[in-house]
Amino acid sequence: MNSSGPPPAADGPLPGPGGPLPDHGSPLPGPGGPRRDALADRAGYDEAFLGPVVPLPLPVRDTVGTVILPYTHFTVVFRPDRRLAASTAVCIEGRELLEDVPREDIWEFDPRLPDEQQAGGELYRNNSLDRGHLVRRLDPVWGSAAVAARANTDTFHYTNAAPQADVFNQGKQLWQGLENYLLDHAAEFDRKLTVLTGPVLQDSDPPYRGFQVPLRFWKVAAFLQDGALAASAYVLDQSPDLSRDAERALAGATPGAPPPLGPFRTYQVPVSDVAELTELEFGPLPDVDVMPQARGPEERWRRLESYGDIVLHP
């Protein structure tokens, strides 16, 4: 087992561009229209999906005007100042997942926000960055065929994307399969999961095309264990590999090129560390963490080489 200490906490919120933004939880203003009407009936994330309440992760202090965007079976807490999500939350009903829903890969702006407040195609065009789903495409795709198809389409809004390295390595494979692994271990509890995900947004994130590219992502899964609420947290790190690319990483990327992202490294971490990194509120989840508390920071982050390294019992 390899271990690594946690990165430094975020330096604080960035100033938002433009005029005032709605407070989180406020109704979204703006004119109607076909595209807006198409999203008007979305119920979003259900905090009581598991039985015990798992609240939507909101900023402890919202100084930038986050906006809540409900979709089918999931919700995005969006930061227009960064043009990226601060957090997402999805309900996964494992018994009803429909894996044969076609993948369309047609990304759209959410019409409930101005296009200029979202990170659209200009961020990803003609470079090595992927549009990384925050809510994984298959996670909300359950229920009737019509509802599942709508959920699939909903995940292809730019509000549910963040730039990620296009390399595919073991760390990325582990990250993308976490929900499946956890669902398998929740089989006796009706295969239900609540998954909270987002980027770690820091002032030090490298700039690119007028955006800032997050170097880390987090995921917190909540489930029932022995009939009680339990949680497990993870961090995906795509920071530059200084041992291989030190000169470019330290000197800055070639003008016009994206930041030199490294291969993905996946860690299991305490839920409380994710709360500290993100400055988000996770309700009861830090107190029901299945990962045993370690004394030093270097012992708290568990580098995952395989799913067998995951701790799911205190």
The answer to whether position 5 is within a domain reads no
The answer to whether position 14 is within a domain reads no
Predicted local confidence at residue 261, as pLDDT: 86
The answer to whether position 25 is within a domain reads no
Section 207-211 average pLDDT: 91
Q: Is the pTM of this model over 0.85?
A: no
Give the model confidence (pLDDT) of 49-100 as tens digits.
999 999 999 999 988 899 999 999 999 999 999 999 999 999 999 999 998 8
The CA distances from residue 122 to 173, 175, 209, 274, in Å, are 26, 26, 8, 30
- Range name among 110-119, 249-258, 261-270 with the lowest pLDDT average: 249-258
Percent share of the chain, pLDDT over 90: 61
What is the band of 104 on the pLDDT scale with cuts at 50, 70, 90?
Answer: confident
The CA distances from residue 309 to 34, 238, 312, in Å, are 48, 20, 10
Number of domains in the chain: 1
The answer to whether position 192 is within a domain reads yes
- Range name among 12-26, 74-88, 148-162, 245-259 with the lowest pLDDT average: 12-26
Predicted local confidence at residue 27, as pLDDT: 38
What is the band of 262 on the pLDDT scale with cuts at 50, 70, 90?
Answer: confident
pLDDT of 44 strictly over 80: yes
For residues 310 and 232, is the Cβ–Cβ distance under 8 A?
A: yes
Domain range for 184 = 34-309
Predicted local confidence at residue 9, as pLDDT: 36
What is the band of 10 on the pLDDT scale with cuts at 50, 70, 90?
Answer: very low
The candidate with the shortest Cα–Cα distance to 195, out of 71, 89, 73, 46, is 89
The answer to whether position 91 is within a domain reads yes
For residues 64 and 14, is the Cβ–Cβ distance under 8 A?
A: yes
pLDDT of 281 strictly over 80: yes
Percent share of the chain, pLDDT over 70: 80
Predicted local confidence at residue 19, as pLDDT: 33
The answer to whether position 22 is within a domain reads no
The answer to whether position 202 is within a domain reads yes
Predicted local confidence at residue 7, as pLDDT: 39
pLDDT of 155 strictly over 70: yes
Q: How far apart are CA 178 and CA 190, in angstroms?
A: 17
pLDDT of 5 strictly over 60: no
- Range name among 208-212, 259-263, 293-297 with the lowest pLDDT average: 293-297
Phi, psi of 24 (to 5 degrees): -65, 140
CATH of the domain at 39: 3.40.570.10
The answer to whether position 8 is within a domain reads no
Predicted local confidence at residue 307, as pLDDT: 92
Section 188-214 average pLDDT: 90
Predicted local confidence at residue 4, as pLDDT: 41
What is the band of 190 on the pLDDT scale with cuts at 50, 70, 90?
Answer: confident
Give residues with Cβ within 8 angstroms of 273, minimum separation 6: 6, 233, 235, 300, 301
What is the band of 295 on the pLDDT scale with cuts at 50, 70, 90?
Answer: low
Section 183-204 average pLDDT: 86
The CA distances from residue 21 to 50, 61, 97, 203, in Å, are 32, 15, 36, 20
